[in-house]
Amino acid sequence: MKQMKVLLVDDEETFVRTLSERLNMRDLKTDTVYDGEQALDFVDDKEPDVMVLDLKMPGIDGMEVLRRVKERYPAIQVIILTGHGTDLHEDESKRLGVFDYLKKPVDIEILVSRIKAAYQKKIQGTMSAVAFAEAG
């Protein structure tokens, strides 16, 4: 089974580095970027399986990143992890197809569980698409 690729997107560099280290200790391979523009460039280049995305960032905010990723790469599963979200943000992100919406601080084991569930959803969706294509 191929290794899951997780992209962490947050402008709080210390937070995202620490989160990356904690996820790596739990055998999740992560890459990190620090703003929306870098996130979109990374997705175009490497297409991660799961993205953990902050909402409030300078430049392109998390909601716009979510919108663009879901338009171009609908199979990528996105988990919002934010300290600044509102019910309106949560409703809009669900409308756009977010896998989950979590608020900081989040228990690391809950986040790991949600990342793994998001990956399973992506794998199942990919397998369903292949089976559908093969069925003609």
So what's the pLDDT on residue 12?
Answer: 97
What pLDDT does 125 receive? 82
Output the pLDDT for position 2: 74
pTM of the full predicted structure?
Answer: 0.93
The domain total for the chain is 1
Which stretches in the chain have pLDDT values below 70?
Answer: 1, 129-136
Quote the pLDDT of residue 118.
98
What domain range includes position 80?
Answer: 5-135
Which CATH number belongs to the domain containing residue 32 in this structure?
A: 3.40.50.2300
Q: Which residues contact 98 (CB under 8 A, 6 or more apart)?
A: 66, 78, 79, 80
CA angle (94 as vertex; 66, 96 as ends), nearest 5: 45
